[in-house]
Each structure stands twice: as C-alpha cells, then as structure tokens.
Chain A
Amino acid sequence: MSHHQEHFHFGYRRHPDQDRDNDPARHPVVVVGAGPVGLSLAIDLAQRGENVVLLDDADRIGEGSRAICFSKRALEVWDRLGVGARMVEKGVVWQVGKIFRRDEMVYQFDLLPETGHKMPAFINLQQYYAEAYLVERVQQLPQIDLRWRNKVTALAQHNDHAVLTIETPDGSYRLAADYVVACDGARSALRGMVGAEFAGEVFEDQFLIADVRMNAEFPTERWFWFDPPFHSGQSALLHRQPDNVWRIDLQIGADADAAVERLPGNVRPRIERMLGNSDFSFEWISIYKFQCRRMQRFLHERVIFAGDSAHQVSPFGARGANSGLEDGENIAWKLAMVLRGDAPASLLDSYEIERSQAADDNIRHSTRSTDFIAPHSKQERRLRDVALALARDVEFAKRMVNAGRLSTPTAYDTPLSTPDADAWSAGPKPGAALLDAPLQAADGGPVFLTDAFKAAGCGFVLLEIANGAAAPAPQGVRSLRIGKDAPLRDEEGLFTKRYDATPGAAYLLRPDGYVAARFRHPTQAALDAALARASGRAGR
C-alpha cells in the first residue's frame, strides 16, 4: 500500500568532476534538489544563458501525494520555461470552488471570472507529471548538468564561493560554486548546514490524505465541506486530478492514532461513506499535521534558500509549490545578472526582501484558513460555527468563511520599484506581476501579452502604448509597442482597460514580468533611473 508505481526512473552517471580530488571543479551555480522548484529554477537560469549543476539525492520521481494545485502565476512561469502548454494539456483546469456546510452550499467562488488570459486560474496535476515534464525540458538544455544520486553531506562557506561535499554511489567528491541554491524541501539538509532555525506554528489537527482512483461524475471544482453528513464534525475536501484520480482530504482530529487511521481497511469505510459506493482503489494514503513556518533569512552567505526549504505552509490555499516557483522566478534573473556582472551582488538582497513578504503573506493566509478549519478552542469553534450558520443568510459571513484563500502573487513593496508619480485608475502597480491580456499581432493573429513578453526575450521590457514616436527605451531594454498602427494591437480593448493605458504611457517590466515602474509620459532620464533602480544599481 501507499506506493505508486514509480513513474519515472533516472540513472546515476559518474561525472569527471568526481575525479578531481584536491581541486574541486568550480561552477557558477549549483542548485540542490530536483523537485518542481529546483528544476524550474535550473531551466530559468539556463534560458538566461547560465550553466547550472542540478543535484538530487534520489534517482526517481513519482512517490507521494504532494502538490496538485498549480496557480495561474506558476503556469505563466512554466509557459516562459517552455512547459506551460504541456502542463495545462495534461492537467485538470478549474476555477470554481464550493463550500458546503453539512449538505448545503454556503459559498461559491470563481477565481478567474474574466476572459482574455492565456493561462487558467488553476490546474490540478500530480506533482510527478509536473516533475517529469520539467526533467524532459531540462534534458533539452545543454547548460544544465543534472546529477542523480548526488547527496550533499557538507557545506563550507568561503568569501566568494561555497564548497559542497557530495555523496554518490561511487563515493564522495567536492564541488565549488559561486552560488548554491537550496531547493531541497521542507527537510532541507542545507538549512541544517547553515545552522538556521525553522520556526513557526504547528497545528495539532491531523488530516488524512487519500488519492483515490475512480470514475465519478463530480464537476471539476474544488469542493470543501464543514461538518458533512459523511464525516460528522470534521472537514473534507474533494479535488479532481488527471487519470481519474481524486484527492480526498479528511480532517481526523488531534487525538486520532495515525498508525491505525492510515491502514487501508480503516480508510476504506470513511471514503465509502463519502462517495456512497466502494468502486474505487487507493493510489496513496498518508496522514499529515500541518505547519506554518519560515527561515528568518533566505540568504546565508553563498547559499540561497527557495521553496519549502525556506518556508512551509498548510496546503489550504495551494501556497506551497506555487510560492516556491515564484521564489525561483524571482531569484533566477537576479542571479543571472549578478553572474554576468550586470548587477551588484546586493541585487540578491531584494530576493530576500520580496520573497519574505510573499512568505509572510502566504503564512498569514494559510494560518487563518487552518485556524478556521481546525479551531483551537471551544470558543473558536463556536465563532466558526456561527459564521457558517450566518453564511446561509448574509453576505458578510460568507466572506468570513475560510476554507483556503487560493494563491495569488504578492505585490512587492520593494526598493527595486520606482513609486508612481502619475495617477492610475487600473493596472498592476510597481512591484506587482503583469496581468495578461489578449492582443493581435501584425498579421492579425491572436497573441497574449504574456506571449509577447516571452518573445521579447524575458529581459527588461518596455511596454509602450504607441503615440507617434517611440518612447526612449534604455539600452538593452526591448520595447513592445501596443496601439492602432503598432506591431501589437488591442482590438478588444482589454489591455487598455487592464493597464489604464493612455497614448504615450509605458510600463517597465522586470525580467520576471513584474512591474518596475510606469509613466504617463516617460522621459529618457526617468526610464534610465527606473532601470538602474530595478537592477539594484541605485535607489533605496
């Protein structure tokens, strides 16, 4: 029980670096951990022209019931990395969530109530598929050297590099790197090696996670129950995955005996009560307790922490893997600029500033949701139950019902942003991620703004609303002109609406697609200053 077929196996191969006894090979970046975060980060760095060594202590993927919900922002990142379409094609697309109390629906939400976006609000996809597609993409990129069964066992920090000791089936060897990015998960070995604490809140309630294979007619929506008839007094979650697999998540309380509860013979009747039949088989069963915690700092000299190694949340809200992918997109361009000498090393400080804000945001939302789902005291339970009872009748209480607030990208309050000097009635503010919009190319064909951004090379991009002469794009900044006679047209007017776009206005986008600055009437000097600031060369 509790083992998938192992979906994907990879071979260990000896590398010439392993023969260099006293003189470890030096690489610009070593990424530790080939999960979704490490794989995506390696691809991002490679697409930016960097050589990457990617280490993983295992030689297979496909075990465990892990992340399933991937957010619009994560899909936009993956699209830029060349795997977005594949993920969406295999994944189950959804955007509606329903919350039930007993057998009555109390609240329904739609995460993307508008059209004109390339990527959906969410897909559900087993993590092993995501990892398999990322590995395939890695294999197309000669800049990435992926080494399986390479386990980091020691770390030494030096002035301008770090040295890793790595255990392999052929014994151990050492590797030097300008920067190490630790994407080695919640139980990060590197976190221990830098001596960092991982403090936060542990929730006492236990949750039974079962991935069940069945043919079912439930709609492709996120369904959450408080106190359902089939699981009295507790909560339940049902979510569809590809291949007729369904994620079921049942709260079983603080006192349940995990060793007993996880036995298939005990899980089966619970699921039968929920589904009303016994026509299913188990893909995976496990029991979890949730934690919300983070490292105090994500930068430790030459080691940078990203994903679960740096911060951990409960699963309500799909903020784990998605925030890790956002970490990756945030650090990739900064690291590439620093390694190329295009930015000072202090640019990396903004990673910690920006992603700390996101981690705090995610922990705050995740903690609130978990508190609502698993109240700490009698009084909290009464408050929760009364909110649910009122939610049948009144709007304000519906809005307080919290069964998970789903992941959206945090808008950064960051020294890289140039504050608005003009008035805007819409549009992503400096520090916020770009919003997609449907456009038309010169040949009339449809093209999304995210596609145009990607085609422009994912460096700094000036999004320019055409008005006669071109705006003075700083050197090295690609310009995307949108307007009536420009290379990109906004026939539906959605871009104009979403960006409060007036003729002559411009948005300066960072290489991760976040807004660095925006101007109604940009001048050369203002754009140069905004670019310098967003590159860590000025400001603060």
Chain B
Amino acid sequence: MTAALSTRSNFADPDAAYRMIVEAHRGVSDEQSAALDAALVLILANHIGDLDLLREAVTLAKRSVVSEGQG
C-alpha cells in the first residue's frame, strides 16, 4: 500500500481556510487553544482514516518543527 499524502494546495481559497482556523482560536485561553488543536488533529486524522497517510503527515509535521531554530 503506497499512501500518498497530498501536499498540493487543495483549497480553492487557502486564505479562507487559514482564517477559519484563526477564528476558531479567538477568545479562548492559550491552554484551550492547545486542546482545540489536539481535538482538531484527532478529528481530521480520523476523517483521513489511513495509518500510512497519518504517518507521512506526522513525519512532515515533525520535520518542520525539529528543523526550527536552525535558522
């Protein structure tokens, strides 16, 4: 099974998608924000429903975070 994580831009209006996430976090505490994001991750992971895809996504996400700070 060759899962292929789509990293093309899939939204017709990416700014609107970004804004929707921003707005979800307006008016909640930082701790609630972290919980909100965690909930979003689980919800979207379940929607994808494919362990290989999820693994690819985790790898990509980790790479972007771990490479932080190297300038």
Residue numbers of A with Cβ under 8 A of B are: 102-103, 229, 365, 368, 371-372, 376-380, 383, 385-387, 389-390, 392-400, 402, 405
B30 close to A377 (CB less than 8 A): yes
Please state if A390 and B60 are interface contacts (CB–CB under 8 Å): yes
User: What CA separation (Å) do A112 and B18 show in the bound complex?
Assistant: 25
CB distance from B4 to the nearest CB of A (A): 13
In the complex, are the beta carbons of A365 and B15 less than 8 A apart? yes
Contact B21 A383, beta carbon cutoff 8 Å: yes
Complex interface: chain A residues within 8 A of B47 (CB): none
Q: Give B40-66 interface residues, CB cut-off 8 Å to A.
A: 60-61, 63-65
* Cβ contact within 8 Å between A395 and B18: no
What is the bound-complex CA distance between A392 and B64, given in angstroms? 8
Instruction: Using CB atoms, name the residue of chain A closest to B37.
Output: A379
Given A376-B26, A389-B65, A399-B9: 18 more A-B contacts, CB < 8 Å:
A102-B71, A368-B15, A368-B19, A372-B18, A377-B25, A378-B30, A379-B30, A379-B34, A387-B18, A389-B64, A389-B68, A392-B64, A393-B64, A395-B9, A396-B7, A396-B9, A399-B14, A405-B15
Contact in complex: B65, A379 (CB < 8 Å)? no
| Inter-chain contact B22/A389, CB cutoff 8 Å | no
Complexed CA–CA distance, A376 and B21 (Å): 13
Q: Please, how many angstroms separate the alpha-carbon atoms of A102 and B71 in the complex?
A: 7
The listed residue (A229, A377, A378, A400) touching B14 by CB distance below 8 A is A400
Across the interface, do B15 and A395 meet the contact criterion of CB distance under 8 Å? no
The 3 closest A-B pairs by CB, nearest first: A394-B7, A379-B33, A399-B9
Quick one: closest A residue to B68, CB to CB? A389
Residues of A within 8 A of B33 (CB): 377-379
Q: Which residues of A contact B9 (CB under 8 A)?
A: 395-396, 398-399
CA distance A368 to B9 in the complex (A): 18
Flag if B7 contacts A383 (CB, 8 Å).
no
- In the bound assembly, the distance between CA atoms of A54 and B37 in angstroms comes to 55
User: How long is the Cα–Cα vector from A29 to B9 in the complex, in angstroms?
Assistant: 49
> How far is it, in angstroms, between the C-alpha of A368 and the C-alpha of B21 when the chains are bound?
12
B2 at the interface (CB under 8 A from A): no
Given known A-B contacts A380-B25, A386-B64, A395-B8, A400 and B15 have beta carbons under 8 A apart? yes
Inter-chain CA distance A386–B61, complex, in Å, is 9
Residues of the B chain whose Cβ atoms lie less than 8 Å from the Cβ of A379: 25, 30, 33-34, 37
**Complexed CA–CA distance, A454 and B38 (Å):** 58
Alpha-carbon distance between A389 and B70 when the two chains are bound, in angstroms: 11
- In the bound complex, do residue B64 and residue A380 qualify as a contact, i.e. CB atoms below 8 Å apart? no
CA–CA, A398 and B9, complex, Å: 8
Query: Which of A379, A399, A400 counts the most chain B CB atoms within 10 A?
Result: A379
A368 to B14, CA, bound (A): 11
Given the complex, which residues of A lie within 8 Å of B8, measured CB to CB? 395-396
When the two chains form their complex, are residues B14 and A395 in contact, meaning their CB atoms are under 8 A apart? no
**19 residue pairs A–B, Cβ–Cβ below 8 Å:** A102-B71, A368-B19, A371-B19, A372-B18, A376-B22, A378-B30, A378-B33, A379-B30, A379-B33, A379-B37, A392-B64, A392-B67, A393-B60, A395-B8, A395-B9, A396-B7, A399-B9, A399-B14, A400-B17
Q: Which residues of B contact A392 (CB under 8 A)?
A: 64, 67
By beta carbon, the residue of chain B nearest A227 is B71
Neighbouring B residues of A378 by C-beta, 8 Å: 30, 33
Q: Is the CB of A380 within 8 A of B7?
A: no
B30 engages A394 (CB within 8 Å): no
A400 touches B64 (CB 8 A): no
- Interchain CA distance A315-B65 in the complex, whole Å: 31
Check A371–B22 contact: CB distance below 8 A: yes
Q: How far is the CA of A134 from the CA of B16 in the complex (A)?
A: 38
Question: Closest residue to B70 on the A side, CB-wise?
Answer: A102
**Nearest residue, chain A, Cβ from B19:** A368
| Most A C-beta atoms less than 10 A away, residue of B11, B14, B60, B63 | B14
Q: Are A394 and B22 in contact (CB under 8 A)?
A: no
Question: In whole angstroms, how far apart are the Cα atoms of A116 and B53 in the complex?
Answer: 44
Contacts of B71 in A (CB 8 A): 102-103, 229
Cross-interface CB contact of A389 among B25, B34, B67, cutoff 8 Å: B67
Q: How many angstroms from the CA of A396 to the CA of B61 in the assembled complex?
A: 13
Q: Which residues of A contact B30 (CB under 8 A)?
A: 377-379
| Set of chain B residues within 8 Å of A385, measured between Cβ atoms | 68
CB-nearest residue of chain A to B33 = A379
Q: Is the CB of A396 within 8 A of B10?
A: yes
Q: In the complex the two chains form, is A402's CB within 8 Å of B18's CB? A: yes
Q: How far is the CA of A396 from the CA of B30 in the complex (A)?
A: 26
- A393 and B63 form a contact (CB under 8 A): yes
Nearest residue in A to B16 (C-beta to C-beta)? A368
Per the bound structure, the CA–CA distance linking A229 and B60 in Å amounts to 25
CA distance A368 to B22 in the complex (A): 10
Contact residues in A for B37 (Cβ distance below 8 Å): 379
- Chain A, residue nearest B64 (CB): A389
Q: Once bound together, how far apart are the Cα atoms of A102 and B60, in whole Å?
A: 20
Chain A: CB-nearest residue to B23: A371
How far, in angstroms, from A387 to B64 measured CA to CA in the complex?
9
A103, A229, A390, A399: most-surrounded residue (chain B CB, <10 A) = A399
Q: Could you tell me the distance between the alpha carbons of A60 and B30 in the complex, rounded to whole angstroms?
A: 51
- Distance of A385 Cα from B67 Cα, bound (Å): 12
> Are A394 and B60 in touch, CB under 8 angstroms?
yes
